Amino acid sequence: MTDADVTSTLSALTLEQKASLLSGFDFWTTKSAAGADVPAMTLTDGPHGVRLADMDAGEMGLANAKPATCFPTAVTLASTWNPALLERVGGALGVESKALGVSVLLGPGANIKRDPRCGRNFEYFSEDPTLSGDMAAGLIRGIQSQGVGSSLKHYAVNNQENDRMRVSADVDERALREVYLASFERAVAGGNPWTIMCAYNQLNGTYVHQHKWLLTTVLRDEWGWDGLVMSDWGAVRDRLAALEAGLDLEMPARIGHPTDQQIVDAVRAGDMDEALVDTSVRRIIDLALRTADAREASAEWDQAAHHELAREAAAEGAVLLRNDEVDGEALLPLDPARSVGIVGEFARTPRYQGAGSSQVVPTRLSTALDALRDARGDVPFAPGFAIGEGPASYASAADLIAEAVRVAQSVDTVVMFLGLPGAAESEGFDREHILLPADQRDLFAAVAAVNARIVVVLSHGAVVDLREITAPAILEAWLGGQAGGAAIADLLTGAAAPSGKLAETIPLRLEDAPSFGSFPGEYGHVRYAEGLLVGYRGYDVRDADVAFPFGHGLTYTTFEIDDVRVAASGEGVDVATTVSARVTNTGSRAGAEVVQVYVGDVESTVLRPVRELRAFAKVALEPGESTVVSFDLDDRAFSFWHPVLQRWYVEGGEFEVAVGSSSRDLAATVLVDVVGDSETLPLTELSTIGELRRHPALAEEMEELLASVEPALMAMINDIPAETVVSQGWIALTPEKWAEFLERAAN
């Protein structure tokens, strides 16, 4: 259907019909328009699986959903650092959505991981906007390749669950632009989602669903995005203000408080332009047209193939944090000649997804215990600790630990499964600490006292304090989805090689986090006191020790990155920089390395992070194989948001371009001179002497006026408003001349 067809459909609708289309019919579907070609659409939770409510079982129950493939959650997918893989996962999600008659899958989430305690960190990608935006874009492209819409969420600055429906996130403009909005901007540019979902919270005192600057000025006018904006479920406080701001669709239907009539009444009274209603209705019609194929439900897809894709993604997203030698050999992959015992209930009862609206009923579920026994025979097992999802009855904690110790004493190597139970982290609340449960820490200490050969496998959705987990080998498996158990066995046995990298820093302790002290806020406000210094940016600027840095991850081979070259051309907004590096597999088995490019400003007039991720590429190589990877960086790689000029600004000078395998494992750093753009600040009556001296239209004359000023006095008055200096007669600048300066600068 063409634009003319959309216009024709729109013109056939009454005002009442148009208003009705702008809110849901029920909890999961939109309204149709009788007599017009505007069908209802089904929207349902994602983002790592299709959670289509089973209406026969009750639509609100989180577990009452039709079976679908439970892929790894975003915390795992982000650790793959592989947007192409996420595009494949997104394609599978699109296939299943279409098979189940779903028009829009609600995801992915591109919110930044500001604090390790956020209860929904498992559903978000990274603490870095470049990585987060690129991974979200890959998933979006895959979903929408199947004619199913995605809904990028939660726009914006939804970085906590505590008081999330009311709290005001108070963020300065540079942090907002350079970190929090940048993640969404990159996802929009790379994925072009058909819908975007607003967050519940306020931004600097205004609810985001009625924040015109956010929904219209930035999203549409600046970024050029033309899709549909929907509310989070039950978020809308003022429907008319939200529509004026740019919110198209209110979800779900309001029971007893319909807002459709409010829109009709406002138009009839002349308080709202009907053209505004038409604009939003056009977006509804356009989305319905785009998703037409998704309404032909078939309920069929290749479940086995999707399960294997989930297994591949889980393996690629696991991060080998540590693999030290014991008795002259690395513990992983497991030596087939050495006996193995398994400890930890998570091996038998896997923690494979997050809790809350994204819970998926899997089509099948693998466990690490079964998979390891398939690979290694009937290895001994002890649960070690109790979890709510496990068997109905357990022995006492002391007996469980004693049994685990006996297993550890009987084998060469212990594989211990630790992590967080589902009740410890979920949508709806934030964690109060990042410690593993006390019984698991006690278990580790007891087993470590009798066997030094321990491999720890971790399952959880957000980082944990690992100071007490001193195992020589640690595999961070995150939440691996329904095939995560088999993927863990693949990695432990060496059938697959780890290639995941950390998408967030693991601190030594919670108190080291840059946001500590200003999370989750108080009395309805949370102040983003760390500003730009989120995640590794904050640790690096303080040169703080961390447990494991952003971008870190080991594998079963070794890599060398060398021959790093950087070439810059152009200036200001036309700056273009090419970065290349050679990466070589110097080990004895195949593997994959993630080449990471960081940029830092050597000297800046504003606070900037020591370095920031600007590009990355995952490279798979055979032993001895080399390849050259290249990256093209544009002006945004060197820019900061200028709060006075209200634009992205490249400040000229030297920049460090570093290439390596993590934010703190840098193979080479190259200095490059970048020609910046001009900085001509608008002058006001409160502009300082120093700002007048730097203004190109006034600089020469100002230096003549200041020629006789003593250096000591010059240092003092440089940052004083010129109006004050003039009124005090400290320099030979008359009020009339000062007024002339202001007029000349304005022109």
Q: Where are the alpha helices (DSSP H) in 156-259?
A: 173-175, 181-191, 212, 239-245
- The long-range contacts involving 683-687, CB below 8 angstroms and separated by at least 24 positions, are 683/741, 683/742, 683/745, 683/746, 684/742, 685/721, 685/723, 685/742, 686/721, 686/723, 687/721, 687/722
For residue 587, pLDDT over 80 is answered with yes
Whether the ω angle into residue 252 lies within 30 degrees of 0, i.e. cis, is yes
Same structural domain for residues 438 and 510? Answer: yes
If pLDDT is split at 50, 70 and 90, which confidence band does 297 have?
confident
Same structural domain for residues 53 and 192? Answer: yes
Same structural domain for residues 437 and 411? Answer: yes
Residue 504 included in any domain: yes
CB-side exposure of 648: number of CA atoms within 13 Å?
Answer: 15
- Is residue 4 classed as helix, strand or coil in its secondary structure? helix
Domain count, the chain: 4
Residue 565 included in any domain: yes
Give 217's DSSP letter.
I
For residue 257, pLDDT over 80 is answered with no
pLDDT of residue 7: 86
Do 248 and 19 meet the contact criterion of CB atoms below 8 Å apart?
no
Residue 464 included in any domain: yes
Percent of all residues in the chain with a pLDDT value above 90, rounded to a whole number: 82
pLDDT of residue 737: 78
Same structural domain for residues 571 and 521? Answer: no
Residue 474 included in any domain: yes
Do 471 and 455 meet the contact criterion of CB atoms below 8 Å apart?
yes
Angle separating helix axes 83-99 and 129-144, nearest 10 degrees: 40
What is the C-alpha separation between 146 and 485, in angstroms, rounded? Answer: 29
pLDDT of residue 708: 80
Same structural domain for residues 656 and 725? Answer: no
The enclosing H or E element of 20 equals helix 15-20
Amino acid identity for residue 343 in this structure: V
Average pLDDT of span 107-115: 98
Q: Where are the alpha helices (DSSP H) in 270-348?
A: 274-290, 303-317
Same structural domain for residues 137 and 215? Answer: yes
Catalytic residues: 232
**Structure tokens belonging to residue 631:** 């990256």
For residue 415, what are the contacts with CB-CB under 8 A and spacing of at least 6? 334, 340, 341, 342, 343, 347, 372, 454, 455, 457, 492
Residue 445 included in any domain: yes
Residue 326 included in any domain: yes
What is the C-alpha separation between 536 and 473, in angstroms, rounded? Answer: 24
Other CB atoms within 10 A of residue 568 CB = 18
Phi and psi at 245, nearest 5°, equal -75, -25
Average pLDDT of span 124-149: 98
Same structural domain for residues 92 and 226? Answer: yes
If pLDDT is split at 50, 70 and 90, which confidence band does 57 have?
low
Q: Which of 598, 591, 593 is nearest to 582 (CA)?
A: 593
What is the C-alpha separation between 150 and 107, in angstroms, rounded? Answer: 6
Give 195's DSSP letter.
E
pLDDT digits (tens, 9 = 90+) for 171-200: 999 999 999 999 999 999 999 999 999 999
**Structure tokens belonging to residue 665:** 């494992």
Give 431's DSSP letter.
-
pLDDT of residue 482: 98
Question: Virtual CA dihedral for 710, 715, 718, 719, nearest 10 degrees?
Answer: -150
For residue 299, pLDDT over 90 is answered with no
What is the C-alpha separation between 357 and 59, in angstroms, rounded? Answer: 12
If pLDDT is split at 50, 70 and 90, which confidence band does 589 have?
very high
Between 178-192, 321-335, 467-481, 678-692, the lowest mean confidence (pLDDT) is in 678-692
Same structural domain for residues 480 and 536? Answer: yes
Do 323 and 330 meet the contact criterion of CB atoms below 8 Å apart?
yes
What is the C-alpha separation between 136 and 186, in angstroms, rounded? Answer: 9
Distances (CA, A) of 544 to 115, 387, 506, 541: 16, 35, 12, 8
Q: Give me the CATH number covering residue 653.
A: 2.60.40.10
For residue 689, pLDDT over 90 is answered with no
For residue 557, pLDDT over 90 is answered with yes
Do 347 and 369 meet the contact criterion of CB atoms below 8 Å apart?
yes
If pLDDT is split at 50, 70 and 90, which confidence band does 608 have?
very high
Other CB atoms within 10 A of residue 422 CB = 19
Sheet holding 149-155, edge to edge: 43-45, 104-106, 149-155, 195-198, 228-230
pLDDT digits (tens, 9 = 90+) for 647-663: 999 999 999 999 999 99
pLDDT of residue 62: 63
pLDDT digits (tens, 9 = 90+) for 209-254: 999 999 999 999 999 999 999 999 999 999 999 999 999 999 998 8
Phi and psi at 402, nearest 5°, equal -60, -40
Average pLDDT of span 61-79: 91
Same structural domain for residues 219 and 80? Answer: yes
Where does a domain end: 617, 643, 674? 674
pLDDT digits (tens, 9 = 90+) for 263-294: 999 999 999 999 999 999 999 999 999 999 88
pLDDT of residue 501: 98
Phi and psi at 59, nearest 5°, equal -75, -25
Same structural domain for residues 475 and 537? Answer: yes
Average pLDDT of span 312-331: 97
Residue 388 included in any domain: yes
Same structural domain for residues 586 and 694? Answer: no
Any idea what the Cα angle at residue 20 is, between residues 249 and 95, rounded to 5°?
50
pLDDT of residue 63: 67
Any idea what the Cα angle at residue 76 is, between residues 71 and 82, rounded to 5°?
95
Whether the ω angle into residue 306 lies within 30 degrees of 0, i.e. cis, is no
Position of tokens 């000591």?
712
Distance of CA 585 to the CA centre of its chain: 30
Average pLDDT of span 464-485: 98
For residue 340, pLDDT over 70 is answered with yes
Q: Give me the CATH number covering residue 184.
A: 3.20.20.300
Rounded-to-5 percentages of helix, strand, coil across the chain: 35, 20, 45
Distances (CA, A) of 411 to 342, 402, 451: 10, 15, 9
Average pLDDT of span 91-111: 97
Residue 333 included in any domain: yes
Other CB atoms within 10 A of residue 356 CB = 19
**Structure tokens belonging to residue 472:** 């020589």
Distances (CA, A) of 601 to 164, 310, 569, 604: 35, 40, 17, 6
Average pLDDT of span 344-357: 94
pLDDT of residue 56: 63
What is the C-alpha separation between 422 and 311, in angstroms, rounded? Answer: 21
For residue 616, pLDDT over 90 is answered with yes
Q: How far apart are the first and last CA of the chain?
A: 49
Q: Domain span at residue 570?
A: 559-674
Where does a domain end: 205, 237, 252? 252
For residue 377, what are the contacts with CB-CB under 8 A and spacing of at least 6? none
For residue 615, pLDDT over 80 is answered with yes
pLDDT of residue 58: 52
Average pLDDT of span 311-327: 97
Higher pLDDT, 521 or 4: 521
pLDDT of residue 171: 98
β 576-585/559-569 pair status? antiparallel
Q: Give me the CATH number covering residue 436.
A: 3.40.50.1700
What is the C-alpha separation between 461 and 353, in angstroms, rounded? Answer: 8
pLDDT digits (tens, 9 = 90+) for 708-724: 888 887 888 888 888 88
Percent of all residues in the chain with a pLDDT value above 70, rounded to a whole number: 98
If pLDDT is split at 50, 70 and 90, which confidence band does 61 have?
low
Same structural domain for residues 595 and 572? Answer: yes
**Structure tokens belonging to residue 239:** 């429907």
pLDDT digits (tens, 9 = 90+) for 373-425: 999 999 999 999 999 877 767 789 999 999 999 999 999 999 999 999 999 99
